[in-house]
Amino acid sequence: MKVLGVIGGMSWESTALYYRLLNQGVAQRLGGLHSADLRLHSVNFAPIAACQAAQDWAEATRHLTAAAVGLRQAGAQALVLATNTMHKLAETLEAGSGLPLLHIADATGAALQQAGVQRAALLGTRYTMEDPAIVRQRLAQRFGVQCLVPDDAGRALMHRVIYDELCRGQVHAASRTQVVALIEQLQQQGAQAVILGCTEITLLIDAACSPLPVFDTTALHAQAAVAWMLQGAIVAPSYGEKTP
């Protein structure tokens, strides 16, 4: 099994989901007592969020590159950045750490392409929805997926729900109703599916409440990471299993 480095903490609520999904994915594939071979650096989100708000991407890069280098030194062979927004720094982190980064947009784009989706609603932080370089350009150029985003009021709503509620572990029915209404608006504009383009949105929205098919970046990213970890893996028996 390859060793995966995870940069998390942005927020820890979604990093906890990543940890569970990565371990469940390995256990399902290998059985027994097998679990994911991970190196995790969970950053303090407050300074990163302050950098985002101030548009100080250089300082954010310093924080995350230090984490990435530490993961490489700890034995990681590739990186997962457990957040959509900070994929703004994906290329810089790869260069600074010397490790390949498993990009969240590639996992999502492959799933959308396989499903034949060409126009998708994109929900996320204001940064992710407004900055094409984070995921939108990559989805368009590599997978032919056009992203539709909410209007300014809708973007403000999503940003508030993510930072003031979901990142703090708060899930409110009233916010779910408002976000579902946003998805319905984007459906009327031609969206064929909805991308949960922030790793916390899966705490609020799922296939049961969404009027559109859901593409959850957290789950898709974790699935792609498990597939990478297990390429060519030699499976050792778990405790209590007999060696052939």
Distance CA 108, CA 24 (A): 19
Runs of H (alpha helix) within 76-191? 90-97, 104-114, 126-130, 136-143, 152-160, 173-188
SS3 content of the chain, % helix, strand, coil (to 5): 55, 10, 35
Q: What DSSP character marks residue 39?
A: E
User: What DSSP string describes 4-35?
Assistant: EEEEE-TTHHHHHHHHHHHHHHHHHHH-TT--
Cα dihedral 163, 52, 222, 175 in deg (nearest 10): 20
Which among 37, 38, 39, 30 has a CA at the least distance from the CA of 238? 30
Cβ atoms of residues 18 and 200 within 8 Å: no
Q: What DSSP character marks residue 88?
A: G
Which residue is catalytic, options 128, 198, 199, 218?
198
Report the sign of the C-alpha dihedral through residues 49, 53, 54, 60, in that order.
positive
Asked if 198 is an active-site residue, the reply is yes
Asked if 83 is an active-site residue, the reply is yes
Which residue is catalytic, options 83, 125, 217, 218?
83
Distance CA 57, CA 89 (A): 8
65: left (phi over 0), alpha (psi -120 to 50) or beta: alpha
Catalytic (active-site) positions: 83, 198
